[in-house]
Structure 1
Amino acid sequence: MENVETTYDIMEQLQEMFGHKSAQASFEDTKKYVNCRMAPGQHAHDHLIKMTNYFQEAELHGAIVDEKTQVGIILNSLAPNFLTFTTYYFLNKLDYGMTQLLNEL
């Protein structure tokens, strides 16, 4: 590593040498967002940020979850006081992206 000039290059070389997608890590990250439920009284924005972080962690370990599926998982994880919103969403066959979902909630 003595000949490597930047920290980025060092990280790239280390990733090539030791980095590999762990099936166990992917499973653990996936389990986080599948089992996550919005806490009573928690702000919707905070819950969406938490879920987005879980999706990103899972993607870093090789899981692939498209945006439509992410929105569905988030809607199913919302607190019971959002039941009217989720029912309206599914009955009207809405198709929000993550940004629009955040704005609507």
Structure 2
Amino acid sequence: MSTQMNYAALIKDHVLTEPNYVDWRRNIKLLLSVEGLMSVLDKDEPEFPNEENPKSKPAYELFRQKNSKAKLLVLSSLEKTIDDSVKDLYLTKDMMEELKEMYGREERHAHHQLVTLLHGTKMAQGTPVIDHIMKLRNLFLDLENLGTSFKLNYKTDVIFHSLPQDIYGSFIVNYNMNKFSVKLPELGNMLQERGDIAIAKVDTADNLSDPMTKALPPSVFEKHVRNMGMKSMGDWH
């Protein structure tokens, strides 16, 4: 009973009203997935059983039951005027396709924005690498909810391209040479173990090791000597 009430609340909070099509589609697909009904969107209706093919009856009946339940959930999540435009369609799959035709422009715009963000995101200095990877992972998930599929290798390449090469370049080369293939959370852990440290360049004017390793202008050299607390022998008298 509590599960049904939770579903009712979820549907009530995400009724399709046209402008919210992208959010509605994501939530209704989540609901259908939890209910084990996604197959009615992915598969065609089985052939009607007959004397030549009596064994198809269980599969046919199961599909009809799932389709009826999925259709009820979808119709329950639609505003009245939208409901009227699709309620006569028999298959839930056809209803979803019709709604996509009617309101898919927002989805296409959202898809374009997500793709632009995905390929334009670079790891900011000071950001933990695992947080950066989770941010990109969420963008991939949002695109997958809009119907775009990605292979793991492609996701990995996009992530590697977004990392600062001066810090992670050698890791990326070794990863590719050894033909590793791990899921994104594990990839984040591997990169973190390699040292999630932002390497900052210290200017010669502030680097106290430079007097020991390179020739410097007299004024810069003298500044370093003072900062290190060094004195000439004559200063001790």
Q: Normalising to structure 2: TM-score of the pair?
A: 0.38
Q: Secondary structure at the match of 2:114?
A: helix
Give the Cα separation in 2 of the matches to 1:94 and 1:65.
Answer: 17
1:45-56 mapped onto 2 (5 Å cutoff): 45-56=130-141
Alignment match, 2:11: 9
Q: Is residue 134–residue 185 contact of structure 2 (8 Å, CA) maintained in 1?
A: no
Structure 2: gaps (5+ residues): 17-23, 25-73, 83-98, 192-237
Q: Is residue 114–residue 139 contact of structure 2 (8 Å, CA) maintained in 1?
A: yes
What is the root-mean-square deviation of aligned Cα atoms in Å?
2.3
Alignment match, 1:96: 182
**Structure with the greater relative contact order (CA < 8 A, sep ≥ 6): 1 or 2?**
1
Q: Is residue 33–residue 54 contact of structure 1 (8 Å, CA) maintained in 2?
A: yes
Displacement, 1:13? 5.4
Alignment match, 2:173: 87
Instruction: Count matched residues.
Output: 101
Tell me the percent identity: 22
- Asked which structure has the greater CA Rg, the reply is 2
1:12-51 mapped onto 2 (5 Å cutoff): 14=16, 15=24, 16=74, 17=78, 20=100, 21=104, 22-51=107-136
Displacement, 1:61? 2.4
Give the Cα separation in 2 of the matches to 1:40 and 1:64.
Answer: 30
Q: Normalising to structure 1: TM-score of the pair?
A: 0.78
